[in-house]
Structure 1
Amino acid sequence: MIGRALNGRYELGEILGVGGMATVYRGHDHQLGRPVAVKVLNGGLADDPRFGERFGQEAQHAARLHHPRIVTVFDSGVDQGSPYIVMELVHGRPLSQLIAETTWLPVERAVGIAAAVCEALEVAHAAGLVHRDIKPGNIMITHEGGVKVVDFGIARASSSGAQLTQTAAVLGTAGYLSPEQATASPLDGRSDLYAVGCVLTEMLTGEPPFTADTSVAVAFRHVTEQPAPPSYRRPGLPPVLDTAVLRLLAKNPADRPADAAAARAELLAAVPVFTPADRTSELLAETRAMPPVPMPYQDQQRTSFLPPVAYPDAPEPARSRRSLAYAGVGLVAVAGAAVIGVLTLGGPDPSAAKAASTPSPSASTSASPTPSATPSAKQTPTGKPSPSPKLGPAAAVVALRAVVAQADPGKERDRYRALLDELDQAAQAFTAQEPQDAESALRNAQRLVRDLAKKHAIDNTTSQAWQAKLGALLAATD
């Protein structure tokens, strides 16, 4: 295709990207004398009317959207049986490449990019379009630091019941599927917000919320498991940012922000210490990567967040595992989604949705603000250091859960998962000031720990340590 001039006007140059559906070339518009990007439907797919229809809809959808955060579509056509779309040429690189080159992004950059994506989605949703494939590969970072959302190839008008896919098929990329998308349930713009939460988690921690060896397994985890707060993997993140991310990742769409504008406002409000109000516009425009910081903000002034919490060592982001889980997955048809739908009665599990509706305790435990970045070193009037602040029960449950999550489940994976769920329920109950619910969850956790010890999944020392912590937490419910 290189060197070919589509309809005698758009000359194709080097390949900029290849997906499962189309190939993007650097092009030149001979008529207007300007550089462009040309997306050409891959050979063979043009013969399938479903792909041809979907490709044509991308041009129609994107042409309706005019905003600096969205790549502009100039033209579309067919040349010798090959459908193509002519778009604005973005001088930059995809966010996926930026993430791959760093351990994680600085908080300001990550939140700024996510907020800019929400800005683009606000325009798309106002036009009645749901993107349905928000992922790092579809977010471009320009050389000037701008953010542009691309690829409305599987976007669908939210007011239309038309479906391009067969029953029990799911369009999207597994690592960023909302629960309703994974179960082929009705969806709206809040499904895109869930994907923004997945992308933001990956920017902050190096991995999306859920990974697995297969696309079906990843989709299943989106439906059935609760996500961990980003601070589990990257200690030191502001608790309020954990809250904002977990709100985006709520299983029940009703528990997410109402729309993209509300999500953007929550994200920008989540980093007030690092993002002064007068820098908001600058932050959204300037998104170039900065060198990764292994333990951010540990020496900075923190006037509105909790004192530092003693977390277990977080594992390094596993890039090879991340690439194994979803690299090369551009358009995923998850045939097993029907099974997921049956297991969840046609949608996300109501109890899981209820659990997700309550922000993570690590993001919402209350404590008195401290003017010092290192409260443990704060001087008393006598000149002696004051004692380290004691963890509240919710934060203590979070710390215990992090320890449990690092254990090797062996053959008792289901019991481990049940134990993590009970700890989540306990933490959420403490946060909601529901001591009876917390007590019930903690006693269930004690029973599961005993079962794990009997099955020799954990040794006696570990069992005793966990039981001691659970006993102390039970005392806090009195």
Structure 2
Amino acid sequence: MTMSTDPLVGHTLEGRYEIVSKIARGGMATVYRAQDLCLPRIVAVKVMHEGLDAELAERFDSEAKAAARLVNPHVVSVFDQGMDGDRPFIVMEYVPGCTLRHIITQEAPLTPVRALDLLEPVVSALASAHEDGLVHRDVKPENVLISDRGQIKVADFGLARAVGNHTMSATSGQLIGTVSYIPPERVTRGSSDERSDIYSAGIVLFEMLTGHKPHTGDSPIQVAWAHVNKDVPAPSQYLANGTKAEHDIAWLVPGYLDSLVRACTSRDPGKRPANGRALLDLLRRVRHALTTGRTDDPALAALQNTVPQSNVVIANPVAHAPAGSTDRSARRRNEPVRPGTASVPPWSRTGTPVSPPTPVSIPDSPLSPIDCPPERMPTQPANHSQPRPRPIHRRATQPASRSRLTQDAVHRRRRGVIAAVFIVLVAVLCAYLVFHFTSSRYSASELHSTNSVARTCVHGESSCMHTVSQNI
């Protein structure tokens, strides 16, 4: 079926939404561009395919209403919902532009700061949803829309649950959604919560930093079970083991950014950030460390070893000099120093991808969100015993602790004060001695002069008396 032969094109839903053109078709729904006849605006209408059972249609309706309650500038707004015959539909905000998938395809691997700038609005949307008790369940680049004005919005909140709450586990034989971003607990138990969205967001961050998905396979089931059985590698380690071009940029990813990715993508949900708000706080701390040129942050680097993440309290980051040199630091020393950038590490520069950017061409029709078709899968993988990932050994530097640095600074200040007081006392003592010596000399000289005058007067008086006696 082509766009020109789609029977809904030209049709008006509930006498209000006139279907203008088809944007995309997926496994569970088709997205159309439509004209709102009551309000002068273009909207996106997602129409579910025919043949859905009543229970699924009811769940879809309730989830659409829940998504409509979300108020966040980074969430695609849900305006309306209804039924066209036996097919439910929802009316959403129309976002002309492209998806994050387009950016990743054209520019990845991205610089760390650019990757975090793209991810932060996504996590902000997740934080708002989680606070309202709504879980996305299908976070992926295709559901992140970037308007031609640069606005970043997340689409399809709650809809994955509506269509797949009872078909989300490996034991049911079916997966709906993109297995490249699926959390392990959905494969093994069919359950999802806020931490499931955190896992998917961590996979998206990994892909932006490396240009690759962490797990691949010959079939969706192999990819799904890789999420269950294999850890997601650190982005810098993945790049170091890649092509020469990737190896040469591996040092751009600092250790604390590796730790953020590893914490988000932990196979144990209890070791992930508890929800979108917790991840948003951590992400902003990491971005601050990047933009201020910090090469190491022990508090952030310890994220992946902290359980549970919801109880983590991270002190304000303190700049530390690495205690030892690593391969990445050695490469940094060998990098040519350019004027004006000597004090700013490359990973903290904004707006420039690692590889030369390809001009982004915005499609004629916007890439609105569309769900991937269902992927049939057996109850067990063809080869359940998959190789365990080789452990990553990273030589971690051990900078001095914050308390040690604070004590040293206090001692230095005390020594300075004591030295200043000693110098002042010595100066006062010297002045006193000079004054006393000068005063003593002056007093002795004055006494000698007085005695001389007295002797002269006495002698003169005696002479006078003797002369007078002779005259008499």
TM-score of the superposed pair, with normalisation by structure 1: 0.58
Judge which range, 54-63 or 215-224, deviates more.
Answer: 54-63
> Does the CA contact (< 8 Å) of 1:172 and 1:332 recur in 2?
yes
Alpha-carbon distance between aligned partners in 2 of 1:153 and 1:334, rounded to the nearest angstrom: 22
Q: Percent identity?
A: 37
Indicate the residue corresponding to 2:266 in structure 1. 250
Letter in 2 for 1:17: A
Deviations 1:410-457 (A, max 9, x none): xxxxxxxxxxxxxxxxxxxxxxxxxxxxxxxxxxxxxxxxxxxxxxxx
> Does the CA contact (< 8 Å) of 1:129 and 1:156 recur in 2?
no
* Alpha-carbon distance, 1:163 to partner: 4.0
**2:14 is the counterpart of 1:7:** yes
Deviations 1:359-397 (A, max 9, x none): x654x822569xxxxxxxxxxxxxxxxxxxxxxxxxxxx
* Alpha-carbon distance, 1:196 to partner: 0.2
CA 1:165/1:261 → structure 2, altered by over 3 Å: closer, same or farther?
closer
Alpha-carbon distance between aligned partners in 2 of 1:192 and 1:33, rounded to the nearest angstrom: 35
**2:377 is the counterpart of 1:335:** yes
> Does the CA contact (< 8 Å) of 1:62 and 1:73 recur in 2?
yes
> Does the CA contact (< 8 Å) of 1:40 and 1:83 recur in 2?
yes
Letter in 2 for 1:247: A
CA 1:9/1:303 → structure 2, altered by over 3 Å: closer, same or farther?
closer
**Residues 16-415 of structure 1: matches in 2 within 5 Å?**
16-42=23-49, 44-46=50-52, 48-49=53-54, 51-156=56-161, 163=166, 168=172, 169-231=174-236, 232-233=238-239, 234=246, 235-236=250-251, 237-275=253-291, 301=342, 330-333=372-375, 335-336=377-378, 338-339=379-380, 362=394, 365-366=396-397
> Does the CA contact (< 8 Å) of 2:48 and 2:87 recur in 1?
yes
Letter in 2 for 1:230: P
> Does the CA contact (< 8 Å) of 2:125 and 2:154 recur in 1?
yes
Alpha-carbon distance between aligned partners in 2 of 1:193 and 1:334, rounded to the nearest angstrom: 25
CA 1:301/1:258 → structure 2, altered by over 3 Å: closer, same or farther?
farther
CA 1:54/1:269 → structure 2, altered by over 3 Å: closer, same or farther?
same
CA 1:305/1:94 → structure 2, altered by over 3 Å: closer, same or farther?
closer
Deviations 1:176-209 (A, max 9, x none): 0111011134331001100001111111111121
Judge which range, 55-64 or 73-82, deviates more.
Answer: 55-64
Letter in 2 for 1:259: N
The answer for unaligned runs of 5 or more in structure 2 is: 1-7, 240-245, 294-330, 348-369, 401-472
What is the RMSD computed on CA atoms of the aligned residues? 3.6
Q: Secondary structure at the match of 1:101?
A: helix
* Alpha-carbon distance, 1:33 to partner: 1.7
Alpha-carbon distance between aligned partners in 1 of 2:112 and 2:103, rounded to the nearest angstrom: 14
* Alpha-carbon distance, 1:103 to partner: 3.3
The answer for unaligned runs of 5 or more in structure 1 is: 278-294, 307-327, 370-478
Alpha-carbon distance between aligned partners in 2 of 1:45 and 1:179, rounded to the nearest angstrom: 30
Alpha-carbon distance between aligned partners in 1 of 2:23 and 2:151, rounded to the nearest angstrom: 19
Q: Secondary structure at the match of 1:36?
A: strand
Alpha-carbon distance between aligned partners in 1 of 2:94 and 2:271, rounded to the nearest angstrom: 37
> Does the CA contact (< 8 Å) of 1:92 and 1:140 recur in 2?
yes
Q: Secondary structure at the match of 2:377?
A: coil
Deviations 1:206-242 (A, max 9, x none): 1121111211000011000122111122412122111
> Does the CA contact (< 8 Å) of 1:193 and 1:248 recur in 2?
yes
Alpha-carbon distance between aligned partners in 2 of 1:343 and 1:81, rounded to the nearest angstrom: 41
Higher RCO structure, 1 or 2 (CA under 8 Å, sep 6+): 2
Q: Secondary structure at the match of 2:287?
A: coil
Letter in 2 for 1:64: R
> Does the CA contact (< 8 Å) of 1:240 and 1:305 recur in 2?
no
Q: Secondary structure at the match of 1:20?
A: coil
Alpha-carbon distance between aligned partners in 1 of 2:275 and 2:177, rounded to the nearest angstrom: 20
* Alpha-carbon distance, 1:155 to partner: 4.4
Deviations 1:137-195 (A, max 9, x none): 111112222211101354449xxxx7466852444310001110111343310011000
TM-score of the superposed pair, with normalisation by structure 2: 0.59
> Does the CA contact (< 8 Å) of 2:97 and 2:145 recur in 1?
yes
> Does the CA contact (< 8 Å) of 2:220 and 2:377 recur in 1?
no
CA 1:258/1:305 → structure 2, altered by over 3 Å: closer, same or farther?
farther
Indicate the residue corresponding to 1:419 in structure 2. none
Larger radius of gyration: 2
> Does the CA contact (< 8 Å) of 1:170 and 1:335 recur in 2?
yes
> Does the CA contact (< 8 Å) of 1:58 and 1:151 recur in 2?
no
Letter in 2 for 1:260: G
CA 1:137/1:3 → structure 2, altered by over 3 Å: closer, same or farther?
same
